[in-house]
Amino acid sequence: MPTSKPLVVVTRKLPEAIETRMAELFRVKLNLEDRPFSREDLVAAMAEADVLVPTVTDHLDAAVLAQAGPNLRLIANYGTGVDHIDVATAHQRGLTVTNTPDVLTEDTADMTMALILAVPRRLVEGERLLHSGNWSGWSPTHMLGHRIWGKRLGIVGMGRIGQAVARRARGFGMAVHYHNRRPLHPDIESELEATYWDSLDQMLARMDVISVHCPHTPATYHLLSARRLKLLQPHAYVVNTARGEVIDEAALVRMLSAGELAGAGLDVFEHAPSVNPKLLAMDNVVAIPHMGSATIEGRIDMGEKVVINIKTFTDGHRPPDRVLPNLM
């Protein structure tokens, strides 16, 4: 790395406090218009940067990484997920990759719980009715939903966010079940009063609500496939605040349209930012634009981690949030 301040290229607009701190510490090129970088923009940025700060909207595949300039040494991702970065290729090319773990857990868990409540209780549907001016007043059988107290919640992926959701769900009287690559430590499992299922298929067939909390990897692509979605009971709800690619969205749409599922709460979509218009037209679907981690506090915490990773790396030390291929 050069002895002078490194040139840091940021691909999206970040909170003002983070941009100001970056400007104090580094030579920085900011994206003041918040316009997503094209593939050509990314290549141009990597040609001049010492450090690139991408986000989930930037796809750094092997072909793009092959065009990195001679000064690029660090990709300091603004976000936890790194499925948009070919980490293996970056590692082979001598590029260090970092992310921002542990700062979005509670925010994403809050949004997950909001969707678990909103879909069965038809909150968005009721809000639309009220704003339409067609509400004629209360009646005993109007806008009936379902209570979540006593229902079974199946969590797919019991990492930090999955566990945070489990704690919230217990407070709402839900029975917590989970599928994970391996069981939790018995002490954590006991604290959460959670039931482990080695078989995802068997768990899906028994749950009232399914909540997805696993990363998108080749192994989890369409983990909830058409076949697995068919295992769900018709009264079940699906909630996804993880990655859209984990669910076969076309199969999900077909089942919702046919009444084979009760509803869905979706913060992520398989082909985002494109969203299947059929999902948006359904009253039993709550669809929000990737807001799971969208809090001011969370975004600032993410930026602070990016700054620490860059400063630590450029000072000649190992950054605290380094991502390695075998840890993905």
Domain 7-103+295-327 matches domain 105-287 at the CATH topology level: yes
pLDDT at residue number 323: 96
Answer whether 118's CB lies under 8 Å from 145's CB: no
pLDDT at residue number 1: 45
Residue ranges covered by each domain of the chain: 7-103+295-327, 105-287
Q: Quick one: tokens of 157?
A: 């992926």
- pLDDT values of the chain reduced to their tens digit, one per residue, 328 residues: 445 899 999 999 999 999 999 999 999 999 999 999 999 999 999 999 999 999 999 999 999 999 999 999 999 999 998 999 999 999 999 999 999 999 999 999 999 999 999 999 999 999 999 999 999 999 999 999 999 999 999 999 999 999 999 999 999 999 999 999 999 999 999 999 999 999 999 999 999 999 999 999 999 999 999 999 999 999 999 999 999 999 999 999 999 999 999 999 999 999 999 999 999 999 999 999 999 999 999 999 999 999 999 999 999 999 999 999 864 3
HSE of 228 in the Cβ direction (CA atoms, 13 Å)? 20
Q: What is the DSSP letter of 251?
A: H
Q: Can you list the alpha helix ranges (DSSP code H) found in 172-263? A: 186-192, 200-204, 226-229, 249-257
Handedness of CA 146, 152, 156, 160 (dihedral sign): positive
Note the CATH number of domain 105-287: 3.40.50.720
HSE of 267 in the Cβ direction (CA atoms, 13 Å)? 24
Answer whether 231's CB lies under 8 Å from 179's CB: no
Domain topology for 7-103+295-327: Rossmann fold (3.40.50)
pLDDT at residue number 3: 54
**What does the pLDDT look like over 175-189, one tens digit per residue?**
999 999 999 999 999
**What does the pLDDT look like over 258-300, one tens digit per residue?**
999 999 999 999 999 999 999 999 999 999 999 999 999 999 9
Q: What is the DSSP letter of 291?
A: -
pLDDT at residue number 39: 96
Q: Quick one: tokens of 264?
A: 């869905």
77, 80, 99, 106 from 83: Cα distances, Å: 11, 9, 11, 21
pLDDT at residue number 137: 95
